[in-house]
A and B are shown apart, each in its own frame.
Chain A
Amino acid sequence: MGLQAAPPSTETAPRRPLVSADATQKVLAFAALVLLFIIFSIASPNFLQFNNMVGILLATAVNGILALGVTYVIVTGGIDLSIGTVMTVSAVMTAQFITVWQMPLPIGILGGVATGAFAGFLNGTIIAKMKIPPFIATLGMMYVAKGLSLIISGLRPIYFNETPEFRDVAMGSVIGSFIPEFEIPNAVLIMFLAAIVAALILARTVLGRYTFALGSNEEATRLSGVNTDRWKIAVYTVSGFFAGLAGVVIASRLNSAQPALGQGYELDAIAAVVIGGTSLSGGEGTILGTIIGAFVLSVLTNGLRILSVPQEWQQVVTGAIVILAVYLDIVRRRRS
């Protein structure tokens, strides 16, 4: 028996759905966002005011930046519970560099971001090398970072009173200096730039590709000769990096490092990621979805506040939205 002539395959490749699975959830989240906008602008004339819009953007910035990093982690099928308090310890270290050690601002900012990245690196190393489940490893890091924030700061907020320029990092407006009517704080600009970089890395680079591969089938990825430990560490480092960036932004915004703040932020960020259609079981997700998810949360909070809904109820609604978002995703998957 020699080489046989290949019969032409009659089966055609499965047709690509018009909108991919990821995209549908994004569209859904975006539709929810638009719907919220419509509802709130009808309900209150104050909602669509320019200042309120800026307020929403600003309120999204920190959570949005945190959510970018944890998107990577969740796409690998992992979780990072430490980003809230890692953000805090990064803010505290920024303050430490700038006000206590009197370093120049750029060094302080880099130091803060590096602190976050280092915490993420530790997370990744613990998870990849010691084989500790991400939930436990990052839960541990959450407490470690929280404790260190309090120890380093001596339990007190550190104010940037001697370096008023630091506040401009988040609250100044580069955009406003070009277009005076648009005094949009830098924090918002930072979030969007970070989102673009995060999206490009996820879609176009080796790191992004392996992030998806890890979440899709880690063992297969390993057997394909990919050094999965190394890339896993890289992914958690990315998450820590964005937590560090969020730390700098929040410190600048509050003009202080507040050591008691931070816990709970990780859950807001995870909620944003989930609303944006990233699957907690890994393998799929997008940065655009995450940003939309972050906006859904902040628009909701803002709108309900404008309608004078008490804060307790805002949380009830937010919780319901998270569950609803995931449920819709499950229903959709079941159908397809």
Chain B
Amino acid sequence: MSSLLVHMEGIEKSFPGVHALSQCHFELLPGEVHALVGENGAGKSTLMKILAGVYRKDVGRIYLRDREVDLHNPREALHQGISMIHQELNLMPHLTVAQNIFIGREPRQAVRFVLDDKAINAQAQALLDSLHLDIAPRTRVGDLTVARQQMIEIAKALSYNAEVLIMDEPTAALTESEIDELFRVIRDLRAKGVGIVYISHRLEELKRISDRITVMRDGHYIDTLMTVDATIDQIISLMVGRTIYQSAPEVPEDLGQPTVLEVRGLNRGRLLKDINFTLKQGEILGFAGLMGAGRTEVARAIFGADPIDSGEIYVNGKPAHIASPNDAVRHGIGYLSEDRKRYGLTLKMDVETNVVLASMSRFLTALGVVRRGKTTETAQHYVKALSIRTPGIQQRVKNLSGGNQQKVVIAKWLTADTDILIFDEPTRGIDVGAKSEIYRLLNELAAQGKSIIMISSELEEVLRMSHRIVVMCEGRITGELSAAEATQERIMKFATQRTAAVQSKSGLSQ
């Protein structure tokens, strides 16, 4: 097996209270894209962080080109040619592209203390050129899109002459065309003999880009498959070790459900143009579209988070004046942001506090003292009802998994008595098993008479869940499909129905 680039065997790792990895095994060939999959908490990131020197293994051996190595810190790993691009990008947004790439290894002038910015920019330019990236080295990284920032991370990794490149969820924030560019770069690297470890939840993507797939579950190595031979169902069953809930889109009974929300002629600058739609009781209304199509903006406008220029919102047939999120909540509208950690939860506080946070006034005595008994009871009720997996309601939310955090947010809005729930990317960053639970929960909520708007970039999810689908493109609603007529192709057609090209032509002729 002398052609192996990386060989890890018998890897064990424990954190206080958790046995994160036991007897883990992994191998990587040069010029291979090796996908690593598993649910959140399966140990993928931990295993790779050990390879990248971020964590130290407790037991086990790591061989790099058949030579045993002991990696104490990320710097040692880098110098051995192992680079890891973390899920959270590790860039300095205020510095330029070149400054970011060469941070810590800046070319110096004859006086060692003084930097040679000419050299740094030239070297960065050469590196970017080799990746066929059209990015100026002097651009501030903060001014780049997330996708381009990721390219900078890749360039930075390569500047260490990386032979092993580990990418943790690289496409989580990318659009389709950006993913294409990323894949092009990955294929380039593969052709140059770089071994690439690709951690992702998006199984369709793995089929497109990877050569082999290793599955992990609960800190154990499960199996390695050749991608060409593996089916997605097979991968999923290996990942979860159980069959998962598949909800067939039920054909909605369209008879007589009252309209709970109606939006008429909503406009906001160039972001939203003449938005009209209705939401019925007990309905899951999918919002599909590409990134930047304006779906989140619609949600924020309805929720009163952003000011609107014109338009009317009717809740239960009555005009609703919503100028702030506070107004929206009083009208029974709850918004579950795509960025739970930033906008949905107070991470450092416990489950109980988070659950009652949006409806605190109901839990106060006349003197403004929190009635602990009642908050505890409510929190315990929802932990049970939504099967939130937590050691207890005193657990800090940041210690929960993504899926369970999402459930806490749902519990919060249910506590606040909201009947209209807007879910913005409800399963982003949530692993397959937990995803299915969220889907089940959405269906149950709808069955109980809650009305749901679900914004999602995953077409399959929209198709699987929605009773009706609204498609947006460039701030307009370009189409509406019933569950029966919706297909991926139809949605994509509406989602790419741009007017900009046409308009700019007529604009020129004016």
Interface residue ranges, A against B (CB under 8 Å): 1-4, 6-9, 11-14, 16, 204-209, 212-213, 215-217, 219-221, 223-226, 283-284
Contacts and interface: CB of A to CB of B under 8 A. Distances in A.
A3 B115 contact: no
Contacts of B188: 3-4, 6
B135 A13 contact: yes
B134 A11 contact: yes
B80 to A, nearest CB: 13
Interface of A is mostly: loop
A14 B139 contact: yes
B78 interface: yes
B108 A14 contact: no
B99 A209 contact: yes
A194 to B, nearest CB: 17
Contact of B90 (A9, A11, A16, A220): A220
A212 B95 contact: yes
A205 B74 CA distance: 25
B330 interface: no
Interface in B174-189: 181, 184, 187-188
Contacts of A9: 132-134, 181
19 contacts: A6-B132, A6-B188, A9-B133, A14-B139, A14-B144, A16-B143, A204-B117, A206-B114, A209-B95, A209-B103, A215-B94, A216-B93, A217-B91, A219-B90, A221-B103, A221-B104, A224-B103, A225-B105, A226-B104
Given A13-B134, A283-B93, A206 B113 contact: yes
B369 to A, nearest CB: 31
A205 B120 CA distance: 13
A3 B183 CA distance: 11
B143 A14 contact: yes
A204 B117 CA distance: 8
A217 B92 contact: yes
B136 interface: yes
Nearest to A2: B191
B75 interface: yes
B247 to A, nearest CB: 36
A216 B103 CA distance: 12
Interface string B50-75: 00000000000000000000000011
B27 to A, nearest CB: 21
- 6 smallest A-B Cβ distances: which pairs? A6-B132, A216-B92, A283-B94, A220-B90, A3-B191, A216-B94
Contacts of B169: none
A213 B104 CA distance: 10
Given A7-B184, A9-B134, A11-B134, A209 B115 contact: yes
B508 to A, nearest CB: 19
Of A11, A207, A224, which is in contact with the most chain B CB atoms at under 10 Å from its CB?
A224
Contacts of A14: 139, 143-144
Contacts of A225: 74-75, 78, 104-105
A313 B55 CA distance: 58
A209 B106 contact: yes
Contacts of A8: 134
Interface of B: 74-75, 78, 86, 89-95, 99, 103-106, 108, 113-115, 117, 132-136, 138-139, 143-144, 156, 181, 184, 187-188, 190-192
A217 to B, nearest CB: 5
Of B92, B93, B143, which is in contact with the most chain A CB atoms at under 10 Å from its CB?
B92
A215 B142 CA distance: 13
Contacts of B95: 209, 212-213, 216
Contacts of A283: 92-94
Contacts of B114: 204-206
Nearest to B86: A223
Contact of B94 (A11, A12, A212): A212
Contact of B103 (A205, A208, A213, A284): A213
Contacts of A213: 92, 95, 99, 103
Contacts of A2: 187, 191
Contacts of B133: 9
Contacts of B181: 9
Contacts of B113: 205-207
Nearest to A220: B90
B268 to A, nearest CB: 16
A215 B86 CA distance: 20
Nearest to A75: B94
A9 B177 CA distance: 11
Nearest to B192: A3
Of A2, A204, A223, which is in contact with the most chain B CB atoms at under 10 Å from its CB?
A223
A52 B32 CA distance: 74
A3 B144 CA distance: 26
Nearest to B131: A6
Given A7-B184, A213-B103, 14 more contacts: A2-B191, A8-B134, A9-B181, A12-B134, A13-B136, A14-B144, A204-B114, A204-B115, A209-B95, A209-B106, A213-B99, A226-B103, A226-B104, A284-B94
A74 to B, nearest CB: 13
Contacts of B75: 225
A119 to B, nearest CB: 23
A221 B102 CA distance: 11
A284 B140 CA distance: 12
B116 to A, nearest CB: 10
A7 B132 CA distance: 8
A208 B108 CA distance: 13
Contacts of A216: 92-95
A282 to B, nearest CB: 8
A221 B187 contact: no
A224 B104 contact: yes
A89 to B, nearest CB: 28
Contacts of B138: 16
Contacts of B86: 223
Contacts of A206: 106, 108, 113-115
Nearest to B160: A225
A212 B91 CA distance: 12
A219 B93 CA distance: 12
Contacts of A1: 187, 190
Contacts of B93: 216-217, 283
Contact of B74 (A6, A11, A223): A223
Nearest to B92: A216
A217 B181 CA distance: 26
B95 to A, nearest CB: 6
Contacts of B191: 2-3
Contacts of A6: 132, 184, 188
Contacts of B187: 1-4
A97 B89 CA distance: 51
B232 to A, nearest CB: 20
A217 B192 CA distance: 32
